[in-house]
Structure 1
Amino acid sequence: MQVGFAMLAFLVVSVAGLYLYAALNVAKMETRDLSTLAPLPGAQFLQTRSGRVHVLDMGQGPPILLLHGSGRGLIDWQQGLAQRLAEHHRVIAFDYYGSGFSERRPQFVYGYDLWVAQAVDVLDALDVERATVVGHSVGGAIACIFAVEHSERVSGVVTIGTGMEIEPQQFALAAPGLGEAVFARMAYYGSAQTEAQQAALEEAFRVRGTRAAMLQYVRRQMTVDGLRLVTGVFEDVRAPVLHLSGSADVNISPRAAGALARRTGGRFQVIEGVGRRLDRRLETDRQLGEAEVVVDGLGDADQLDATAGGKFAQDLQAAVAADADERIELQLAIALDHLVCAVDEAAVGHREGEGIALVGGAEDGAAEPQHVAAVAR
């Protein structure tokens, strides 16, 4: 009995000590008020229904919405990918609440519901009715939830390095006190391609409320949000979906990404020899190497082979196989162009049984562009 009481007392004191340690360190680390920060070059602060959002809005044409991974921000898309897509599209990216330079509020419940609602608010504030949604890592899960709950707003979905694997350290972070202590010492999350990006990333982590937001998200992922994804959502996606995975991705394995593709009924493509980045060989954005981006999954694979969308895979393989940085950059740009054609021309599909059927009238099986909006649900 005495041993049990002593153990309980030790645990209580230990947890209390961790909370105190965390509080003191967070006070040292989070010294910036968000209102004192300026938006990144090319970005802006946008007032929406739910709060102030740090937004990148560039280019003209059919809209593409880019959703970043956890703890990151629009900085991951700003160079390279966003610029490439903006040559022919309107590209929109934003920092989630609790991340980057977007707002933090004590009343926010950080997780999928908040960020899906934020995406809707951003599109509404920018007068965008529909978009193709590209999500990296957890952004892919958010994109799928968005497509289920707001199907009329989504033309198609691409997930990049998204799966259902949970890393062991996440369980440790869910422990009371321990998660607080770990996040309290975190100077920033991940790294960036350029010194300017790195400085912005570290600056965002000095904003008050950042670590609490990240920790709340991690814990919800282990409980409410995680259970939601396990029990449903992905099977209910009706938009055409393409899942991309690098064969050398050690965070989310191709097996996990493939399992997710089976649940959505979408197309799945593994890029050989690539992890979550292309060894940072590009001068452009980390995501160009990390994402091997796109959306050629708008319809049946055989039907798409004859279309611009089917051409994407060849371009992408050429980009990955290229040795010279300049050629990689060029080939990825070409691949993105074909991707965009797939979004614009191949067609938005609807489900028939287990597959995705093209709707519309071209002889080669691709729906004509005017049918795209009409078939969206």
Structure 2
Amino acid sequence: MTIVLALLGLLLAFFLGLALYAYMWKRRAQRAVPPRGAFTRISTGRLHYLDVGQGPAIFLIHGLGGQMGNFDCGLIDDLARDHRVIAIDRPGMGWSERPLSQPCTPADTARLMFEIMDKLGIEQPLVVGHSLGGAIALSMAVQNAERLRGLALLAPLTLRGQEPSPVFDGLAIQSDVQRFLTAWTFATPAALRNGEAVIQQLYGPEEMPPNAVTQGGALLSLVPRHFYHTSRDYINSVRGLEETSRKYADLTVPVRLLYGTEDQILDPQHHGAKLVGRHPQMGLKLIHGGHMLPVTQPQVCAEFIRDASTKMRGSLTIRRASPEVYR
């Protein structure tokens, strides 16, 4: 009995030690990447957002496990020269709050994006979605195209059917209880141990810029709450996507895509060329690069987005877009 109690005590001490380690890294990450914008409240709790510049609105939606810093390595400042640019930490990410059990399919999150538009007074924006943010942007267009000027998507998730990258295996947790316990125990040391391999997949064949760690907000991925919601987003990322994709042919806003030909996370042939093959009214531009284009090639992304904004200006809704609107 004494041995059993001693073993239980050691086990408890081990997990408490892991939780303390996670807490220490949480504090370190949050000190290194403080809030850079303002706060408001929506139905999911506190929302962290950045609203800069004047002109036609551009609404930036980041991808899986990201936050507004993904756009703040030069892209926001460039676009804000002649646009109103709104970037957010999606609910649950970065400094924004979200209930632990909040529904979070792309369609669910799209509805929250409209709530944010109402809260911040965003009218007829060009919606820019990166990665999972692309699926959210497409869901917004399917749900209420009349409120959008168009979509400019960066390495977007668009269709079901691709096998997920092994880099996300650690996020494939079905139970919320297990997910919460993992977030406060093994997630932080695993992230630190596997960080280099994850970075190579996310950024390859490009290098991760040094400013991605703090200015780009990468350190916030070590916050336990951030891991928890990233895991839930991952599990729900393709739920409802098949139904949404059946409605792409009926979209009444222009859609343009930018993809890196060497993307190691989302296949540009599947999510880009295949999509445009089905819906040739959409436009696809391919460049040399990987998945994290807003971080590695902010100037190229800014040119792509600005060109889309110029061509889509004045085109609120369409019956059938002409090629020049899309391309």
| TM-score band w.r.t. shorter chain | 0.7 to 0.9
Distance between the aligned counterparts of 1:45 and 1:250, measured in 2? 34
Distance between the aligned counterparts of 1:237 and 1:342, measured in 2? 17
1:66–1:93: 8 Å Cα contact kept in structure 2?
Answer: yes
Distance between the aligned counterparts of 1:175 and 1:107, measured in 2? 14
In structure 1, which of residues 317, 334, 342 is the aligned counterpart of residue 311 of structure 2? 342
In structure 2, which of residues 261, 265, 270 is the aligned counterpart of residue 247 of structure 1? 261
Segments of 4+ in structure 1 off by > 6 A? 20-24
Shift of 1:232: 3.2
1:228 alignment counterpart:
240
Distance between the aligned counterparts of 1:175 and 1:95, measured in 2? 23
In structure 1, which of residues 248, 271, 284 is the aligned counterpart of residue 286 of structure 2? 271
1:288 alignment counterpart:
298
2:104 alignment counterpart:
110
Shift of 1:138: 0.9
Distance between the aligned counterparts of 1:348 and 1:129, measured in 2? 11
Distance between the aligned counterparts of 2:310 and 2:93, measured in 1? 32
Deviations 1:328-363 (A, max 9, x none): xxxx4xx65544322325x345234xxx249xxxxx
Aligned partner of residue 198 in structure 1, secondary structure: coil
Distance between the aligned counterparts of 2:42 and 2:186, measured in 1? 33
Letter in 1 for 2:232: Q
2:59–2:125: 8 Å Cα contact kept in structure 1?
Answer: yes
Shift of 1:154: 0.8
1:258–1:268: 8 Å Cα contact kept in structure 2?
Answer: no
Deviations 1:94-146 (A, max 9, x none): 01122111114223233324422331222112112221101111111100001
Identity between Structure 1 and Structure 2 (%): 24
1:246–1:254: 8 Å Cα contact kept in structure 2?
Answer: yes
> What is the TM-score normalised by the length of structure 1?
0.64
Shift of 1:286: 3.2
Shift of 1:263: 4.5
Shift of 1:84: 1.4
In structure 2, which of residues 172, 191, 213 is the aligned counterpart of residue 174 of structure 1? 172
> What is the TM-score normalised by the length of structure 2?
0.72
The structure number with the bigger radius of gyration is 1
Aligned partner of residue 119 in structure 1, secondary structure: helix
Letter in 2 for 1:276: H
Task: Identify if the C-alpha distance between structure 1 residues 156 and 150 changes in structure 2 by more than 3 Å, giving closer, same or farther.
Answer: same
Task: Identify if the C-alpha distance between structure 1 residues 285 and 174 changes in structure 2 by more than 3 Å, giving closer, same or farther.
Answer: closer
Structure 1: give runs of 5+ residues left out of the alignment. 1-19, 279-283, 295-331, 359-364, 367-377
In structure 2, which of residues 115, 120, 124 is the aligned counterpart of residue 130 of structure 1? 124
Distance between the aligned counterparts of 2:15 and 2:110, measured in 1? 30
Task: Identify if the C-alpha distance between structure 1 residues 25 and 154 changes in structure 2 by more than 3 Å, giving closer, same or farther.
Answer: farther
1:57 alignment counterpart:
51
Task: Identify if the C-alpha distance between structure 1 residues 131 and 29 changes in structure 2 by more than 3 Å, giving closer, same or farther.
Answer: same
Letter in 1 for 2:313: D
Shift of 1:22: 8.3
Structure 2: give runs of 5+ residues left out of the alignment. 1-12
Distance between the aligned counterparts of 1:83 and 1:57, measured in 2? 11
Greater mean alpha carbon deviation, residues 58-67 or residues 263-272: 263-272
2:43 pairs with 1:45: no
Q: What is the count of residue pairs matched by the alignment? A: 285
Task: Identify if the C-alpha distance between structure 1 residues 349 and 131 changes in structure 2 by more than 3 Å, giving closer, same or farther.
Answer: same
Aligned partner of residue 301 in structure 2, secondary structure: coil
In structure 1, which of residues 186, 205, 208 is the aligned counterpart of residue 191 of structure 2? 186
Shift of 1:246: 1.7
Deviations 1:133-184 (A, max 9, x none): 0111111110000111122221101111124333253567436689748745
Which has the bigger relative contact order, CA under 8 A and spacing at least 6? Answer: 2
Kindly report the root-mean-square deviation, in angstroms, between the aligned alpha carbons of the 2 structures.
Answer: 3.6
1:30–1:209: 8 Å Cα contact kept in structure 2?
Answer: no
Task: Identify if the C-alpha distance between structure 1 residues 239 and 213 changes in structure 2 by more than 3 Å, giving closer, same or farther.
Answer: same
2:138 pairs with 1:144: yes
Distance between the aligned counterparts of 1:342 and 1:200, measured in 2? 29
2:44–2:97: 8 Å Cα contact kept in structure 1?
Answer: no
Task: Identify if the C-alpha distance between structure 1 residues 148 and 337 changes in structure 2 by more than 3 Å, giving closer, same or farther.
Answer: closer
Task: Identify if the C-alpha distance between structure 1 residues 143 and 340 changes in structure 2 by more than 3 Å, giving closer, same or farther.
Answer: same
Aligned partner of residue 205 in structure 1, secondary structure: helix
